[in-house]
Amino acid sequence: MPKKFAEANFRNFEFNESDGVPKEYGVTCYHWAQGKYAENCLILCGNIGNGKTHLAISAMKEVFAIRTGQSLFIPSGELFEQLIVSTYNHDNKVENIKSLVHLYDCLCIDGLERRHFTEASIENLYLLINRVYLENSKLIITTNLAPEVFKELDERIYSRLHEMSIILPFKWDDYRMREKIAYS
Ligand SMILES: Nc1ncnc2c1ncn2[C@@H]1O[C@H](COP(=O)(O)OP(=O)(O)O)[C@@H](O)[C@H]1O
Ligand SMILES: [Mg+2]
């Protein structure tokens, strides 16, 4: 769990019905973490600084609170880097992906963005998503990409994500900017 978000939880997230993240998003993330939905994947997508990572971590903490297993938070770029390195080192990449999914109750891939995509990283993402799909494992993705982008990237990823995900679009102003304005 990153130090920056050590204190992040549902209670210190501000919901705002008129020009911010609506309360129902918090309720949905909370219920998702408690396993109230059939969908095992939560996709928080949209604008930068909208609290996607904050809510993703809050949901992870909730999954962790009700299960005995472990959760892993991994920035998307680092995940792909690690998988590429394991390919170069002739480690068994597929085994690495399988053990990631088996080891952790809940994986969070944070900040998936277009620049991370190469042919190899898309294939790695497919292998991971497919394993999550087969194992009914819990996955959270935060991304600035619209879900339709996955359709053009890889139909196999899109189709699985479509079946197994709850998708929440974030479309508000950057919260980080709001904080600065309030201090000056
Ligand atoms: N609605 C909110 N209430 C409280 N803090 C927020 C809210 N939205 C964002 N933040 C804070 O602003 C910063 C940026 O949020 P973050 O979750 O990293 O955004 P994103 O992942 O959407 O880019 C973090 O410090 C986060 O805790
Ligand atoms: Mg983020």
Q: How far is the CA of 51 from the centre of ligand 2 (A)?
A: 7
Phi/psi at 16 (nearest 5 deg)? -145, 115
Assess if residue 16 is contained within a domain: no
- Tens digit of pLDDT for each residue in 104-122? 999 999 999 999 999 999 9
Residue recorded with tokens 């008129």? 18
Domain extent, residue 167, equals 36-183
| pTM greater than the 0.85 cutoff | yes
* CATH code of the domain containing 108: 3.40.50.300
- Name the residue with the closest Cα to ligand 1, atom 15: 51
Assess if residue 30 is contained within a domain: no
Report the C-alpha gap between 139 and 132 in whole angstroms: 7
Assess if residue 161 is contained within a domain: yes
More confident residue, 42 or 96: 42
Assess if residue 165 is contained within a domain: yes
21 lines ligand 1 (CB under 6 A): yes
- Tens digit of pLDDT for each residue in 134-179? 999 999 999 999 999 999 999 999 999 999 999 999 999 999 988 6
Count of domains forming the chain: 1
For residue 110, what are the β-bridge partners? 75
Averaged pLDDT for residues 38-55: 98
Q: What is the DSSP letter of 114?
A: G
- Name the residue with the closest Cα to ligand 1, atom 8: 51
